[in-house]
Structure 1
C-alpha cells in the first residue's frame, strides 16, 4: 500500500458539528433578542449572553477537526493513538467476540474538552465493521467496553495482524459515527469516525506487542505511538 503525501497541519470544524453549531447559534441568538427587546433590565441579556457564549465556545472547541499527518513515513508495525485523550486502561483481557484469545487492551478516554474525531490506528484493510446497541455507563468504567453502545472495526495490517478498534459511547455521548467500510483499505492519517460529547476508544492488540505509553498519559490522535507490533 502506498502512503499519501504528508501535508501541513490544519484545523477546521468537523462536519458532524454543522447542525449542532448552526441550530444552536440560531436558538441562542433568538433568545438573546427576545431578552433585549422585551425585558426592561439588560442584566438578564448580558448574563445569558455571557453564559451561553461560553458554552457555545466550548462546543466549538469540541467539534474541532485538526488535519493531522503522522510524521514518520515508515509505519510498519506501528500502532498510533486513535484519539485525543488520556490512557485509562492497559491490561490483558479475554476478547471473545472476534479473536477468542487473550489480548492487550489500551483504552483512551476523551473528555468534553478533547477533539472527538477518531483516526485509524494502523494501516491495513478493514475486515469487519459492526455496531452494537447498549447502555450509556460512564465511559471510564471497565464494564463500558462491553455493555455500552459501541462500534467495532477490525483491521488487518499488511503483515496479517488483526487489530480491533472499538468506539464506545459514554454517559453523555449518544451518537457514534463510523466511516470505516468493510473491505476498504485504510491508513493512518484517515478518520475512522467521530463520537459526540464524551467517550472512549479501545484498541485490542496481540500479546507480545510492545506498549509505548503508560497509564494516565495524554495522547494525541494520529500523533502518539501507543504500541509496536511484533
Structure 2
C-alpha cells in the first residue's frame, strides 16, 4: 500500500492544504458539473495536494549498521555544495571544517542530528534571503545554529540556512536536550542549505565530495575520532 509519512513540523501547511482540497472536492461533487469540468477541477487539486505532501514527507531512516560515534551523519538530504576549511571558525572560536548541503524544493526538508550529544546553543539570527546557491547565502541569510557537545567534549555545529524561497526555519530544541544521531530535530521550509560544522580539521576525515548526493540520517559525511580519555 502506498503511504507518505508526513512531518509534524509541517502540519499547519499540509493540514490546511488537505482541508481546502477536501472542501473543494465536496463542493464539486455536490454541484455535480459535467465530467470534463469535474476532472479539470479535481485533477489539479490532487496534483497540488500530492506536491504539498511530497515536500513535507518524512521518510524513515536508519543509521548504517556499522555506524560508530566518530562518524558524522548527514543532517539533511541534498547535494554537497562545498567543503571548506577555516583557520578560525566563528562558531567554534577555533579551526574548523564546514560541509555544506544544498536542498532543492524536491528534497526531503527535515533536519537530523549528525551525532549524539547535548545541546549547548540554539541561536536564531535574522538576515537576508539570497538564493541558497549564492555565495552570499551562508554569510548573510537568516539562519539557525545549534551546537552539540559530544560525550568527549568536542563541539559539533549544525546550521540551518534560509534561502530565496525558504522563509521559515523550524528548530524546537532547548538547551540541555539530548541529541541522538539520525533523529529529526527540525526543518527548513521550501528550499535551503544546511551546514555541518566540525572542529579539529587535522583529525577530520571527510567521506564525501562536492556534487555528491547525500541522505539525511544515513550518509556518513565525515569521521571525527572520539577522545577516549573523556568519552563515556
Using the alignment, how far apart are the partners of 2:42 and 2:11 within structure 1? 21
Structure-2 separation of matches of 1:140 and 1:94: 24
- Provide the rounded CA distance (Å) in 2 between the counterparts of 1:40 and 1:73: 58
Q: Is the 8 A contact 2:9 2:186 kept in 1?
A: no
Pick from 191, 202, 205: which aligns with 2:198?
205
| Residue 75 (structure 1) aligned to one of 68, 79, 85 | 68
Question: Displacement of 1:96 after TM fit?
Answer: 4.8
- 1:85 pairs with one of 78, 91, 101: 78
Aligned mate of 1:147, from 128, 140, 161: 140
**For residues 106-136 of structure 1, what are the alpha-carbon distances to aligned partners after superposition, in whole Å with 9 as ceiling and x for unaligned?**
1111122221111110111111110111111
Structure 2 counterparts to residues 82-161 of structure 1, below 5 A: 82-93=75-86, 96-161=89-154
TM-score normalised according to structure 1 size: 0.85
Q: Is the 8 A contact 1:94 1:100 kept in 2?
A: no
Shift in CA distance, 210/154, structure 1 to aligned 2, threshold 3 Å? same
Q: How many positions carry a matched residue from both structures? A: 221
Unaligned runs of 5+ in 2: 226-232
Which whole-Å deviations, capped at 9, do the CAs of 1:92-113 have from their partners, x for residues lacking one?
2465532234421111111222
Residue 54 to residue 223, structure 1, CA distance change in 2 (3 Å): same
The structure-2 alpha-carbon separation of the partners of 1:210 and 1:37, relative to structure 1 and needing over 3 Å to count, comes to: same
Q: 1:24 aligns with which of 12, 17, 28?
A: 17
2-side partners of 1:210 and 1:63: how far apart?
A: 32
**RMSD, matched Cα:** 2.4
Is this contact kept in 2: 1:36–1:42, CA < 8 A? no
CA contact (8 A) 1:32 1:45 kept: no
